[in-house]
Amino acid sequence: MRRHRVIQWSTGNVGKMALRAILQRPDLELVGLWVHGQDKVGRDAGELCGLPPCGVEATSDADALLKLDADCVSYTATGDLRPAEAIDDMCRMLEAGKNVVSTSVVSLIYPPAADPKSVAKLEAACRKGNTSCFTSGIDPGFANDALPITLLGACQRVDSVRVMEILNYDTYDQGTVLFDTMGFAAPLDHQPLILIPGVLTMAWGAVVRVIAAALGVEVEEIRETHEKAAAETTFRIPAGEVPKGTQAGLRFEVQAIVGGKPKIVLEHVTRLRDDVAPQWPKLAQHGGYRVDIRGNPSFLCELQMNGESGDHNEGGLVATALRVLNAIPAVCAAKPGVLSILDLPVGMCAGAMYAR
């Protein structure tokens, strides 16, 4: 099995999981590490993710990193609030002859659903560098594109598809996302970033569109719906306090209208405590993912994950990172361009079984 040389770009929640995996996997070799914080510059990559020293020092010198001999960059820097900058970053990498796997600009999981100008820039960079770019994760990503599309491959007739994240985010220690982006711990009449009209479609519209493309149907319109639930008592989570009466639950849908009806639906049911909004859908333990396909045959598939510590959100972060790391061999072997799950093989897991 070929060993791919990888540059890891960022050490946030997902980046740290990716870094640990690159250092532990025999099929991957870490050759460089980019960090944002100056307090991390010069530190050993192993130290930054809780592993023994590996001899690779973290740097903020992007130019130096892009001169390294590497097959691929694992780009996990946050892109939600800086999509243009993230696109520019990836273009530099692709032009420099580095393939890119990324979790950052989530609309790119299905390039035809992303901003056309951004995709055109990336395609031009791929042509110049003879490289490929693939974006995925767990959500948006394999839990709501690869998993349902695989099940749809066994259907005679499909009447509707609903893909759901049903999850307690209590241990997700990222206050900016929970409080600023999603609006938790804010008054119910507050409009957070995620609920500005069009933002849900920007983030998850690609999910319903890639499923529609796999089915060969036309999406006539995309609609957004949402509802909130309040905390009945004040409580704390690792990210901070959630006062009584403020938002502690959020449920939303991104609906693809086909034949005048919402036939392909992405739904999120998000809580900060298991007892919030008991009338909303639930899964066992702290939740996970559900794919509900109605047709002949109908499928109901539920997916749960846990990290090595037993925490579900840790499991989700590991899965997000490894979805793109496991794709590196296929992305490096693919034709140049911006790829989606429809361009790559189903089985992208070679190298995941190794001696510890």
Write the CATH number for 273: 3.30.360
Average pLDDT for 298-302: 97
DSSP 293: E
- The verdict on 54 and 33 lying in the same domain is yes
pLDDT tens for each residue of 146-177: 999 999 999 999 999 999 999 999 988 889 99
Q: CA–CA distance from 332 to each of 4, 140, 325 (Å)?
A: 9, 22, 11
- The verdict on 35 and 176 lying in the same domain is no
- The verdict on 289 and 330 lying in the same domain is no
* Residues recorded for the chain: 356
- The verdict on 98 and 227 lying in the same domain is no
Q: Report the chain's mean pLDDT, rounded to a whole number.
A: 95
Q: How far apart are CA 301 and CA 147, in angstroms?
A: 9
- The verdict on 191 and 55 lying in the same domain is no
Q: For residue 285, what pLDDT is reported?
A: 74
- The verdict on 176 and 290 lying in the same domain is yes
Total domains present in the chain: 2
Average pLDDT for 11-40: 96
For residue 152, give the 3-state DSSP assignment.
helix
Average pLDDT for 109-120: 97
- The verdict on 98 and 64 lying in the same domain is yes
- The verdict on 119 and 167 lying in the same domain is no
- Among the residue ranges 73-82, 92-101, 123-132, the one predicted with the least confidence is 73-82
User: Helix 83-95 to helix 116-129 angle, to the nearest 10 degrees?
Assistant: 20
Confidence of residue 353 (pLDDT cuts 50, 70, 90): confident
Tell me which residue range forms the domain holding 255: 146-304
Sequence-distant (≥ 6) Cβ neighbours of residue 256 within 8 angstroms: 208, 209, 211, 212, 219, 221, 222, 262, 263, 264, 265
Whether 28 and 57 have beta carbons less than 8 Å apart is answered as no
321 occurs within a structural domain: yes
